[in-house]
Amino acid sequence: MNKALMQDLLKLPAAERREIAQELLESLEESDLPPLTPEQMEEIDRRLEEHRRDPSTAIPWEEVRDRLRARFK
């Protein structure tokens, strides 16, 4: 990693650093990501089964996103 570049990036305002981090994450292919742990897979399976039993409990992504943004401003 280019240390000078990293030092420059860390000097940016938090909002710009977040935007860069998001863009970097979105640039990764699924194969670039680490595999899920068995515990993570179990949790995904549990949540999927819970949703299948009662899909009415689902919350639209836009609502979740808005709640998170409001909570972590």
The pLDDT tens digits of the residues spanning 15-50 come to 999 999 999 999 999 899 999 999 999 999 999 999
Residue 56 burial (CB < 10 Å; 0-12/13-18/19+)? exposed
Q: Tell me which H or E stretch contains 2.
A: none
Identify the pLDDT of residue 14.
96
Identify the pLDDT of residue 73.
80
Three-class DSSP category at 11: coil
The residue type of 42 is: E
Share of residues in the chain with pLDDT > 90 (%): 90
Q: Is the pLDDT of residue 1 over 90?
A: no
pTM to 2 decimal places: 0.52
Q: Which residue has tokens 């990501």?
A: 33
- Reported confidence tier of residue 65, pLDDT bands at 50, 70, 90: very high
Reading the block at residue 59, the tokens are 């919350």
